[in-house]
Amino acid sequence: LSVLIMSPLVYVAGGGGGSVVSDADIKSISQVLFTLDSNKASASQLILEPQTLIPDSQTSAQTDHAPKPIIPVFKVVEMRSSSSLPTYAALLAVLDNYRRMTGQTEAFTQQQLQEQEHFVRETMSNTEVGRELFAFLYTKGVYSSEEEFLQDLKMMWFGLYSRSNGQLDSSGFEHIFAGEVKGGKVSGFHNWIQFYLLEKRGQLNYYSHSFNGPWTSYPDVLGMQFNWDGYYKQVGSAVIGCSPEFDFALYSLCYITRPGKMCRLSLGGKELRIQTYTWDKTTYGDGKKYIGSAFPATP
């Protein structure tokens, strides 16, 4: 997306002609999305045990301070086959389609491509959160139709590019939601449901956290240290307890309106900052940039 900075206003060029999206606009719509997230976890569904809080100076030590899992219980995923939780089922279907090592080409079956399409439509067309995000961007002139919005999301999130060895080995979705390993370290990995799934399987060992946001109910935000089957993540931040559609909507909102910049949101009246990065080496469509990364800034 081409952007002309007019801070605190940013001109966002889209298929619908483009308009100014202010910082106040972004805080307002994020607060609405927060209120609409009816599929988020409740205190009775999700148990969170952060355990040891360490200073930033110790995040590189790779010391396991947590004898227990951080997420010992999450009842929603155990009910993932339920027709009442289609966005969770759609996310789980896509998460297991990736090879985590960069430099290894990602090749998808027709079914896996359909799972990507289904995830975008399930989260953005079939939820109040997704429909509200589209309505906001449509009103701002970023998109001229829902179909244009959905197809652009599919390309910016799932379009493949190369992080290593010239192979089509990565995408915004893989990097942020599934997580990758590059240069002997965990790269990306900012989705809490993937964290829970891997921890439950014994493939991820939570060590500690270096940031705990001001929220006292879900969603909350943590900056975590962990080992993913032999590879360390020094600070992996995630919005915890939100629905898949809310996570996808927040990152999409920030990337579309603040690509390569800090995006300031309001969740329950408290500020959350999301840092986004564009992928600048290759493009799609009419010179649009894929998502490089997006994650909660901590602190």
The number of angstroms, rounded, from the C-alpha of 182 to the middle of its chain's C-alpha atoms is 19
Catalytic residue flag (residue 175): yes
| CA 186 – CA 230 distance, rounded (Å) | 9
Establish whether 190 is a catalytic residue: yes
b/e map 162-193, b = 16+ CB within 10 Å:
bbeeeeebbbbbbbbbbbbbbeeebbbbbbbb
| Whether 288 is catalytic | no
Q: Which of 209, 233, 261, 289 is catalytic?
A: 233
Residue 233 CA to residue 240 CA, distance in Å, equals 17
Distance from C-alpha of 89 to C-alpha of 127, rounded to nearest angstrom:
14
Torsion, Cα of 156, 225, 185, 229 (10° steps): -100
CA distance linking residue 222 with residue 239, whole number of Å:
7
User: Which of the following is catalytic: 27, 40, 190, 261?
Assistant: 190
Task: Check the CA dihedral 168-164-150-239 and report its sign.
Answer: positive
Return d(Cα 41, Cα 141) in angstroms, integer: 33
Q: Which two tokens stand for residue 21?
A: 């999206």
Options 154, 175, 209, 289, the catalytic residue: 175
> Is the bond preceding 72 in cis, omega lying within 30 degrees of 0?
no
Active site residues: 175, 190, 233
